[in-house]
Chains A and B, each alone.
Chain A
Amino acid sequence: MLYREAGQFKSSYGADEAIFPIRQDRWLFAAALIVAYVVVPLIASEYWLLSILIPFLVFSLAAIGLNILTGYAGQVSLGTGGFMAVGAFATYKLATSFPDLNIVVVFILAGLITAMVGVLFGWPSLRIKGFYLAVATLAAQFFLIWMFNKFPWFNNYTPSGVISAPPRAVFGHVFVTGAEANSVDKYLFVLSAVTLLALAAKNLVRGRVGREWMAIRDMDIAAEIIGIRPLKTKLLAFAISSFYCGIAGAMWAFIYTGGVEALAFDIDRSFQILFMIIIGGLGSILGSFLGAAFIVLLPLLLERTPMALGFDVPVNYLSNMQSMIFGALIIFFLIVEPRGLARLWQIGKEKLRMWPFPY
């Protein structure tokens, strides 16, 4: 009922190929954008903006990046953390070497540098597949972190190796990094970047490139036979995925925490982002957001529910219980719907088409 597309006719190929072919979806998307851009900045507290929404958005971006590589192109990667570190350190070097460069340009350049590094470490994918490739990308992960930790050039010779974001403005006095930056400005900046990049990704995967990726994912030999060049396609997936991860890493270091050491991007980070895309849904941009929300919000929720209900539980029990429930929920969700939260959403929509009528 709510979701009936009856009466919505498409009279052009353009309309048929739109991102949101159904009117209700367009409204929903517009409403989501209004909430994100207008309502949230008005009502959300600093705590929500700084420690929940910004990391959620940054994680979503990284998850989109990994989803392009793993969900669409089928190359399992555990090097996400390493690529995020490349983005963070490239941004730091660029921002401190060229203080006049606009921060947006710096982020984009850092993304491009990460893309190059991604291509470099993507080469083995031409020969190694599946879980073997996943573990091989760990070589990139460990090497990159070691490298940033080892060579003081990357952190401008600070004794501890921690990079710390210098204050930079997008335009005028709208600072997005550094101590003076306003949390709403930071949030809107990250939100805009994520919106633009997510739309770009959505369009990319709907087009020729995306179809090539999916062909490679589904069966690479067959794809090769029908004329898709695995070298170009796989490396392009690595490049674009790394671009996204690099920008996510840069935002993590510069906008979210403000100061990080290389170990902030260790192997745990890579796993965390992989969990997001599997839980959210492989091969789905929406799934990247849902997965990030699941991994960021659920532990907080589990931690705070007993307190909200008035139980006084020692933190260690709370934390262990949280870990147990979180684990159990992952298994539960996988059993209910192995294709992730995005698929669950789709099923929900199907249901809404009929609701409240049974047929």
Chain B
Amino acid sequence: MEIVAFLHALLVEPFVAMWQNPEFLLEVAIGGLLTGVMYSLVALGFVLIYKASGVFNFAQGTMVLFAALTFVGLLERGFPVWASFLLTALAMIAMAFVIERLVLRPLVNQDPIILFMATIGLTYFLEGFGQIVWGGDVHPLDIGIPKSPLIIGGVLINEFDLVAAAVCGVLVTVLAVFFQRTAIGRALRAVADDHQAALSVGIPLKNIWVIVWAVAGIVGLVAGILWGSNLGVQFSISLVALKALPVLILGGFTSVPGAIVGGLIIGVGEKVAEVFWTPATGGAIEDWFAYALALVFLLIRPQGLFGERIIERV
């Protein structure tokens, strides 16, 4: 009998709850969508680097932290917002140069897992470096967006989340234009398609890598500012990378729109699951649910929703 009751709680009651309270369902779904956008922001950085260099950049989370720490550190030393942003962006570009020269270039043509491991080394380095330069304390960051409740038609929406979504939208549009309309963008796409072919038509691979890492760094800066104003700039920001991973697999490692759509699906999925399945499971399921959801999508499409099709030859 207990099993029947459990199955009932698992398979029937959540849907009854949704049916009875559609407004709440909508509210949760919107909350999930907006959270998903925040995940996408972090996932975008991963995608950019993977797409152009085939590197699964474990250090992306730490780059987000490092950028946010630098930004807030400059602010605290009295720089105006625009100058801090610009200087941090410059720092991220400089970092891209250093990484390309000292890490990527000596490891060119190695297995993906070796490059992955190298980015882990990078993670340790940046964690130590960031904390030595800026300290281990938490730095409050207020960029002037209120986190006050906004009730539209009985549904609660957060002003901050809306701003974040708008920023993300702008960022994706800029990236899309950059990729589609500029010479560098075309070169990037060529490199992403085929390294060797790109090299043979005279695209300088090294420069492309620097550009991609720099762009990923700047995307990380934007993500860091938004997450930082939400959580306070502190070490834990680097942990958002774990939230971005299911987004990444679901959307596919190589697709910018995939990162966005993946983020939305994961966001809605995990929030709805967390809210409506808590009575049956005891709650705190959203972490593994996000991965399980991604896994289900993968079983149907092993390369992710928008990933490039894997062609296997012997």
Contacts and interface: CB of A to CB of B under 8 A. Distances in A.
A and B held together in a complex: yes
B291 A136 contact: yes
Given A150-B281, A323-B124, A334 B291 contact: no
A135 B121 CA distance: 19
Contacts of A282: 113
Interface residues of B, number: 51
Contact of B249 (A135, A150, A275, A320): A135
A124 interface: yes
A132 B117 contact: no
B106 A335 contact: yes
Nearest to A129: B302
Interface in A209-243: 219, 221-222, 225
B121 A334 contact: yes
B288 A146 contact: yes
Interface stretch (A39-47, A137-145, A188-196): A137-145
A129 B288 CA distance: 20
A355 interface: no
A76 interface: yes
B295 interface: yes
Contacts of B281: 150
B48 to A, nearest CB: 16
B124 A327 contact: yes
A244 to B, nearest CB: 20
A276 B245 CA distance: 22
A327 B121 contact: yes
Interface string B287-301: 110011011001100
Contact of A338 (B111, B136, B242): B111
B292 A139 contact: yes
B125 interface: yes
Interface string A69-90: 0000000100000000000000
A278 B302 CA distance: 25
Contacts of B288: 139, 142-143, 146
Given A222-B314, A324-B125, A136 B102 contact: no
Contacts of A219: 314
Contacts of A324: 124-125, 128-129, 132
A interface secondary structure, majority: helix
Interface in A325-341: 325-331, 334-335, 338
A319 B235 CA distance: 14
Contact of B118 (A138, A151, A222, A330): A330
A139 B291 contact: yes
A327 B282 contact: no
A76 B58 CA distance: 15
B interface secondary structure, majority: helix
A131 interface: yes
A321 interface: yes
A331 B295 contact: no
B118 to A, nearest CB: 5
A317 B129 CA distance: 10
A279 interface: yes
A317 B133 CA distance: 10
Contact of A327 (B126, B291, B304): B126
B128 A327 contact: yes
Nearest to A146: B288
Interface residues of A, number: 46
A128 interface: yes
Nearest to B114: A338
B122 interface: yes
B110 interface: yes
A150 B312 contact: no
B146 interface: no
B102 A127 contact: no
B114 A278 contact: yes
Given A225-B314, A317-B132, A331 B245 contact: no
B107 A334 contact: yes
A331 B127 CA distance: 15
Given A129-B310, A143-B288, A135 B131 contact: no
A330 B129 contact: no
A305 B32 CA distance: 49
B118 A132 contact: no
Contact of B298 (A124, A149, A278): A124
> Which 6 pairs show the lowest CB-CB distances between chains A and B?
A327-B124, A330-B121, A327-B125, A323-B128, A139-B291, A142-B288
Given A316-B136, A326-B124, A327-B122, 19 more contacts: A124-B299, A127-B298, A127-B299, A128-B295, A129-B310, A131-B112, A135-B249, A139-B291, A139-B292, A221-B314, A322-B128, A323-B128, A324-B124, A327-B120, A327-B124, A327-B127, A330-B120, A338-B107, A338-B111
Interface of B: 56, 102-103, 106-107, 110-114, 116-118, 120-129, 131-132, 136, 242, 245-246, 248-249, 253, 281-282, 284-285, 287-288, 291-292, 294-295, 298-299, 302-304, 310, 312-314
18 contacts: A132-B303, A135-B246, A135-B294, A142-B288, A221-B314, A222-B314, A267-B242, A316-B131, A317-B132, A320-B132, A324-B129, A324-B132, A326-B121, A330-B118, A330-B120, A330-B121, A334-B118, A338-B107
